[in-house]
């Protein structure tokens, strides 16, 4: 800490006044649906009599507003958020004695702050033991707005703690994060999911094992969440299951989570946001399951085949990437989908002529076909016979012929270089 306790408290008082003055100058009109005043809440936290805990909670809320689109926080200007972040950083530096062991102020406040935030979030939760309890009853007990603000504060505090400090605080952080996930509000759930994502990336392997089944069950329960937090659901679930079940590809949790995700995607396969998020984040689960993916081929391929032809280049490129991963992992052995995959890629190759990402798509198709040619051999040649004489596939046929006649198998990195559309070795059909 600074040279003396009075100096530290004087610094705290000075910083509090600076932030409070900026806050008081900020215009604020409560949203018509709000049941509380966010500005009044902040003013009480940053009053001249505020404690270190209250100052930290005020800074957390102001800083967290930068990543929020919720009406409770969108009125907070960027300069006020930045000032709060800077003030807390300054106080953290003052908290440390020059030349002494570095101490994390946020981490040391967590023991006092997290239980308070957890209780606030829990106040408007639904009592699952009471069948008559529902959203309206939960909101009547305590305004939802308090839970939302507390969830943002919690997420901000978690983000201020790094390894190895975070490892030591798992028993404090995980119960509060689970409370967020159990809440009925998507906004509260979303902050809990972001917290879990951060935790999974910043603790050592094994740190979450004690809570493993509880955490993964919460993931499963939340997969069919609102679309606005689906991206967080997927990223969180993938990170956590691969972290907790890292040494057990046969774990039923991989099966459960993948099955729940596929079911949610099948309900609205045309939902762009859902498919993009899933395609971006799912690969670690594929890598962990390996050949066990064969059990899910029917559902996976039917979705991927459908998405290959949507009018959305980002989706198509992501599908090609995941198909490449699946082929690498499984060689799609003993699969009735092999021949159809070849046919679908041919159709897409022709469709790509009218797409903006034409070259990237056709390069992806060629790389995938070469891999299929190398791993399936005669089976590929048999499937390709029907397309061999197609005049619209002349360049594609030529590149496949070069690959087949190559003296030695090429590494995928070499294939990527040789199949770039701009290189002379690769011809692109019109």
Report the range of poorest mean pLDDT among 138-142, 231-235, 319-323. Answer: 138-142
Predicted confidence at residue 44, as pLDDT, reads: 94
Distance separating alpha carbons of residues 20 and 13, to the nearest angstrom: 10
Q: How confident is the model at residue 332 (pLDDT cuts 50, 70, 90)?
A: confident
Report the range of poorest mean pLDDT among 38-42, 164-168, 244-248, 405-409. Answer: 405-409
Predicted confidence at residue 205, as pLDDT, reads: 83
Pairwise pLDDT comparison (403 vs 98), residue with the higher score = 403
Q: How confident is the model at residue 232 (pLDDT cuts 50, 70, 90)?
A: very high
Length of the chain: 430
Quick one: average pLDDT of 66-87?
Answer: 95
Its domain, for residue 47, covers: 1-103
Distance separating alpha carbons of residues 125 and 192, to the nearest angstrom: 14
Q: How confident is the model at residue 358 (pLDDT cuts 50, 70, 90)?
A: very high
The answer to whether residue 12 sits within a structural domain is yes
Quick one: average pLDDT of 351-370?
Answer: 95
Q: What predicted TM-score, i.e. pTM, was given to this entire model?
A: 0.88
pLDDT of residue 425 exceeding 50, the answer is no
Predicted confidence at residue 404, as pLDDT, reads: 84
pLDDT of residue 75 exceeding 90, the answer is yes
Spatial neighbors of 424 by CB under 8 A, at least 6 apart, are: none
The answer to whether residue 340 sits within a structural domain is no
Distance separating alpha carbons of residues 414 and 330, to the nearest angstrom: 21
The answer to whether residue 9 sits within a structural domain is yes
Longest dimension (CA), the chain: 86
Per the listing, tokens 């005669």 go with 378
Q: How confident is the model at residue 133 (pLDDT cuts 50, 70, 90)?
A: low
C-alpha closest to that of 398 among 375, 424, 378, 417 = 424
Per the listing, tokens 């030349």 go with 99
C-alpha closest to that of 279 among 257, 259, 300, 253 = 300
The answer to whether residue 13 sits within a structural domain is yes
pLDDT of residue 411 exceeding 90, the answer is no
Q: How confident is the model at residue 426 (pLDDT cuts 50, 70, 90)?
A: very low
Q: Count other Cβ atoms within 10 Å, centred on residue 41.
A: 17
Helix pair 105-123, 144-159: axis angle to 10 deg: 160
Quick one: average pLDDT of 114-126?
Answer: 94
Report the range of poorest mean pLDDT among 46-50, 52-56, 114-118, 125-129. Answer: 125-129
Distance separating alpha carbons of residues 385 and 26, to the nearest angstrom: 71
pLDDT of residue 207 exceeding 70, the answer is yes
Predicted confidence at residue 428, as pLDDT, reads: 42
The answer to whether residue 231 sits within a structural domain is no
Q: How confident is the model at residue 137 (pLDDT cuts 50, 70, 90)?
A: low
pLDDT of residue 415 exceeding 70, the answer is no
Q: How confident is the model at residue 364 (pLDDT cuts 50, 70, 90)?
A: very high
Q: How confident is the model at residue 131 (pLDDT cuts 50, 70, 90)?
A: low
Helix, strand, coil percentages, rounded to 5, for the chain: 70, 0, 30
pLDDT of residue 414 exceeding 70, the answer is no
How many domains in the chain?
Answer: 1
The answer to whether residue 395 sits within a structural domain is no
Q: How confident is the model at residue 98 (pLDDT cuts 50, 70, 90)?
A: confident
The answer to whether residue 72 sits within a structural domain is yes
The answer to whether residue 299 sits within a structural domain is no
């Amino acid at each position: 800490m600074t040279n003396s306790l009075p100096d530290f408290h004087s610094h705290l008082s000075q910083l509090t006044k600076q932030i409070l003055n900026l806050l008081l100058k900020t215009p604020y009109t409560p949203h018509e649906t709000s049941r509380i005043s966010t500005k009044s809440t902040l003013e009480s936290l940053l009053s001249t009599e505020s404690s270190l805990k209250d100052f930290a909670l005020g800074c957390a809320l102001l800083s967290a507003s930068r990543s929020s689109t919720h009406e409770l926080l969108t009125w907070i200007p960027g300069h006020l958020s930045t000032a709060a972040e800077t003030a807390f950083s300054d106080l953290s530096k003052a908290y440390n004695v020059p030349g002494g062991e570095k101490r994390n102020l946020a981490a040391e406040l967590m023991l006092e702050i997290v239980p308070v935030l957890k209780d606030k979030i829990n106040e408007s939760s639904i009592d699952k033991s009471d069948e008559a309890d529902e959203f309206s009853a939960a909101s009547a007990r305590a305004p939802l707005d308090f839970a939302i603000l507390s969830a943002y504060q919690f997420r901000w505090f978690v983000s201020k703690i790094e390894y190895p400090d975070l490892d030591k605080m798992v028993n404090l952080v995980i119960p509060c994060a689970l409370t967020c996930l159990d809440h009925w509000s998507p906004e509260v759930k979303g902050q809990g999911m972001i917290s879990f994502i951060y935790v999974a990336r910043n603790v050592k392997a094994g740190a979450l094992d004690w809570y493993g089944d509880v955490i993964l069950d919460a993931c499963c329960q939340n997969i069919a969440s609102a679309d606005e937090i689906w991206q967080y659901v997927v990223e969180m679930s993938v990170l956590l299951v691969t972290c907790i079940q890292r040494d057990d590809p046969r774990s039923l949790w991989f099966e459960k989570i993948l099955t729940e995700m596929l079911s949610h995607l099948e309900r609205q396969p045309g939902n762009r946001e859902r498919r993009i998020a899933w395609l971006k984040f799912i690969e670690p689960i594929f890598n962990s399951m390996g050949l066990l993916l064969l059990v899910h081929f029917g559902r996976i391929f039917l979705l991927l085949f459908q998405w290959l032809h949507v009018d959305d280049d980002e989706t198509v490129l992501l599908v090609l990437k995941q198909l490449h991963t699946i082929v690498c992992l499984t060689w799609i052995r003993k699969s009735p989908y092999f021949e159809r995959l070849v046919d679908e890629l041919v159709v897409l190759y022709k469709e790509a002529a009218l797409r903006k990402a034409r070259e990237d798509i056709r390069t992806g198709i060629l790389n995938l076909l070469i891999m299929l040619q190398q791993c399936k051999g005669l089976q590929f040649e048999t499937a390709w016979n029907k397309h061999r004489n197609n005049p619209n596939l002349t360049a594609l046929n030529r590149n496949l012929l070069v690959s087949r006649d190559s003296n030695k198998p090429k590494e995928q990195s070499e294939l990527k270089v040789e199949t770039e559309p701009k290189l002379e070795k690769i011809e692109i059909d019109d």
